[in-house]
Amino acid sequence: MLIGYRYQAQNPAGKTVSGMVYAVDRNAAWAKLKRSGLRASRVAVDIVATLNGFNGRFDVREQVRFYRTIGKRLESGKPMISGMEAAISFTTDPLLLNALRLMQQRILDGARIADAMQSAGFPDRDQNVIRAADAAGKQGQAFVRLAEDVARTSRLRSAIQSTFLPMKVLAVVGVVGTYAAMAWLSPTMIHFFAQWSTGQAIQLPALIRTYNVAALWVTAHKLAAGFLLLLLLVSGKLALESAFVGRLADYWQNWRLISEKSDHSSAWTSFSLLYDAGGIPAYESAAVVRKSCVRQDSQDMFHRLDKILRLGVPISSAVARAGFPDYVVNGVKSAEEAGASLAEGLLNMVDDLEQDVEVMTDILKIKITYLSQIFGGVIVSVFFYVTLYPMYIQIGQKL
């Protein structure tokens, strides 16, 4: 979580400036301002700004629009600083707006664009792409391609996340519904049938008797039960995002291929951008890309690729020796042998990977839909068993 700090400082020209900076703590905020060339005199927490920037990530749509706009302006020969003014005027995301203002201040103080991006907190990969493109005179093109990659990565992640949305909704509805039934519905029925039976013992299954005891406890301790419910939901979310669950999910081949190919799609796009920009050796590109990989096995592959490329091995051979999947090895080999730009060949491979992920995601959505229907049926059946079924048992035994 990033905290919003409102600051007052002096720029290198001695002018007093103020604004907002996001950092993990006050010391990090002071350090970030110092890297931006500002001498801060006051840094104070801003609660509203902290809540606005709670997730700690730039709004993807506005980041894409900024990269694309700046790229087009630079390609047409327009100055960077005027583009920054325009970007600040249309940006509403507080985190990105703060980053753009810091970046603008650094550029006004004479810093290079990549250095200004570093001070403002843009991703390392993006900074390195722009730094490499600066030496080759391709900054405009680099910004446009960054926009395309950020949009592509966001689109793939959204498609994957939306696949499991029905299951997540059903899980939340099931847990909340169980709490509501135990806190209000079941106790009423228990007391009603206790009075209606007039002391006659009613034989209920052990599972239902256990549920009734739990329901009476929840009724008597609604706040404590609500806290346990919230804890259960948070724990479930953390568990689903854990590395252990991720390793278990890899046993499902369809999901593993989606996760693997989407990660390589983003990673090789980054590699091609760095390679095409020029000025950065291939092994350094691999080292930079490694940090942006989501999967541990992908990180390990690029780590080995970095080491092998430093030995002077051609990239296609290095990829094979680094243990990349066959579809990556074949794609890189085709890109290298195509005779055109290696970067363009890699982007063609990325397009193929993206199409594969889209097709597999559609198939997975169908499977998840069926599983959701089964899961929903199980929830309804359990709800009927512990709430309505006892009513039929007790009425039958009474009659």
Give the DSSP letter of residue 250.
Answer: T
121: left (phi over 0), alpha (psi -120 to 50) or beta: left
Distance CA 296, CA 303 (A): 10
Q: What is the pLDDT of residue 330?
A: 92
Model confidence pLDDT, tens digit, residues 231-276: 888 888 888 777 787 788 888 888 888 889 988 988 888 888 787 7
Indicate the pLDDT class of residue 364, thresholds 50, 70 and 90. confident
Are 290 and 302 spatial neighbours (Cβ–Cβ below 8 Å)? yes
- What string of DSSP letters covers 277-325? H-SS-HHHHHHHHHHH-SSHHHHHHHHHHHHHHTTT--HHHHHHHTT--
| pLDDT tens-digit map of 141-181 | 888 888 888 888 888 778 777 877 888 888 888 888 888 88
Would you mind telling me the total number of residues written for the chain in this entry?
399
Q: For residues 226 and 123, what is the distance between their CA atoms, to the nearest angstrom? A: 39
Taking residue 49's Cβ as centre, other Cβ atoms within 10 Å add up to 19
Q: Give residue 302's pLDDT.
A: 94
Task: Please give the model's pTM, rounded to 2 decimal places.
Answer: 0.70
Residue with tokens 């079924």: 389
For 385, phi and psi rounded to 5 degrees?
A: -65, -40
In this prediction, residue 278 carries a pLDDT of: 64
Weakest-pLDDT range from 114-128, 198-212, 298-312? 198-212
Torsion angle, alpha carbons of 36, 41, 43, 44, to 10: -160
Lateral strand order in the sheet of 39-45? 16-23, 3-10, 39-45
Is the Cα torsion angle 249, 255, 256, 258 positive or negative in sign?
negative
Distance CA(239)–CA(231), nearest Å, equals 12
Q: How confident is the model at residue 298 (pLDDT cuts 50, 70, 90)?
A: very high
Non-local CB neighbours of 76 within 8 Å, separated by 6+ positions: 140
Better-scored residue on pLDDT, 338 or 98: 98
- Between the two ends of the chain, the Cα-to-Cα distance in Å is 61
Structural contact between residues 123 and 292, judged by C-beta atoms closer than 8 angstroms: yes
- Which residues are 7's β-sheet partners? 19, 43
Mean pLDDT of the chain: 81
One-letter identity of residue 333: K
Residue 235 CA, chain-centre distance (Å), reads: 18
How confident is the model over 199-237, as pLDDT tens digits? Answer: 555 677 788 888 888 888 988 898 998 898 888 888 888
Mean pLDDT of 45-49: 68
The larger pLDDT score, comparing residue 204 to residue 97, is at: 97
